[in-house]
Structure 1
Amino acid sequence: MATSSSSATSNHTTEKRPIAFGTLIAALWVPLATVIGVVTSWQVQEIDRDWVERQQAACRHMPLPTMEHVAAWAGPVLGISAVVVCVLLAKRIRRLHGVPLWGTKRGLVAYIGVWPGVLTIPLELFLLYATYSPVDSGPILGDCG
């Protein structure tokens, strides 16, 4: 009987649990949020450049476009959310499977996808700061006379 109870215990511990659909979504969210966050932050520069050109063409100061504020906030929010989701996913995989994040295929995707996000969060935060900081000289309107 001792052998049957130990074999039943070992079968229970080696039994693989299926990975939930939510885990797949979380693993794919990390690299997707990282890429979209970077693209959105760089879009702030394009929006600002277009705004300056429109002001110069109209020869008057215009308010900042709302889309620039939305894009400036979206970058850091997406970057930070990618890191948070990756940490939560690592805890879940560790709890359910007893392996580190990179021990599963889905976890490896999240692990690889989070590092560029961690490196770009300072850039995204800087672009957010630049959006709200006053520009000393402002756009040069040129010869409007």
Structure 2
Amino acid sequence: MNLSASPPPDGCPGPGRRRTPGTLVAALWVPFATVVGVATSWQVQRIDSEWVDRQQAACRHLPFPTAEHVAAWTGPALGISAVIVCVLLARRFRRRHGVRLGGTGWGLVTYIGAWPAVLTIPLELFLLYATYSPVDSGPVLGDCG
């Protein structure tokens, strides 16, 4: 059995193989993008609710907030980018180090961070759809007389 040809334990780089700062940044990007993507998607509801409240207080229709569009697009963009970075990093670990993504410490962080992104992308896409869908009744302005 040739031990020098086997991959290093715990996915550590062997001789001549260094972990690059880009790999570390990519590994940490996935959980960061997942959390921030969900947080910005939740902000869509808060922004919309505040917009409705301001309209009711002013007793008139106000322009639609641009921040809601930005937050609605940021959520799915971050969620999808987290999954793409995870897949690309898994391919890189397999090709360069010969180990699975979950076989390394940073790879495991990436892998665990990607699953919530996969699960929340449909919610983020729904909130994006809801931002652009027309509201039949619009906000009720109340008694402005």
Instruction: Specify the alignment match of 2:11 in structure 1.
Output: none
Instruction: Specify the alignment match of 2:65 in structure 1.
Output: 65
* 1:62 Cα deviation after fit: 1.0
* 1:63 Cα deviation after fit: 1.4
Instruction: Specify the alignment match of 1:83 in structure 2.
Output: 83
CA–CA separation in structure 2 for the residues paired with 1:81 and 1:19: 22
**TM-score, length-scaled by structure 1:** 0.91
- In structure 2, the gaps of 5 or more residues are 9-13
CA contact (8 A) 2:7 2:97 kept: no
1:18-57 alignment, distance < 5 Å: 18-57=18-57
Instruction: Specify the alignment match of 1:3 in structure 2.
Output: none
Q: 1:27 to 1:67 in 2, by over 3 A?
A: same
Aligned residue identity for 1:142: G
Instruction: Specify the alignment match of 1:134 in structure 2.
Output: 134
Instruction: Specify the alignment match of 2:124 in structure 1.
Output: 124
CA–CA separation in structure 2 for the residues paired with 1:52 and 1:58: 10
Q: 1:123 to 1:14 in 2, by over 3 A?
A: closer
Q: 1:11 to 1:33 in 2, by over 3 A?
A: same
* 1:21 Cα deviation after fit: 1.1
Aligned residue identity for 1:63: P
Aligned-partner SS, 1:143:
coil
**Structure with greater proportional helix content:** 1
Aligned residue identity for 2:44: V
Runs of 4+ in structure 1 over 6 Å off: none
Aligned-partner SS, 2:137:
coil
Is 1:113 aligned to residue 100 of structure 2? no
* 1:72 Cα deviation after fit: 0.3
CA–CA separation in structure 2 for the residues paired with 1:56 and 1:144: 9
* 1:11 Cα deviation after fit: 3.5
CA–CA separation in structure 1 for the residues paired with 2:109 and 2:18: 17
* 1:20 Cα deviation after fit: 1.2
Aligned residue identity for 1:130: A
Aligned-partner SS, 1:131:
helix
CA contact (8 A) 2:27 2:109 kept: yes
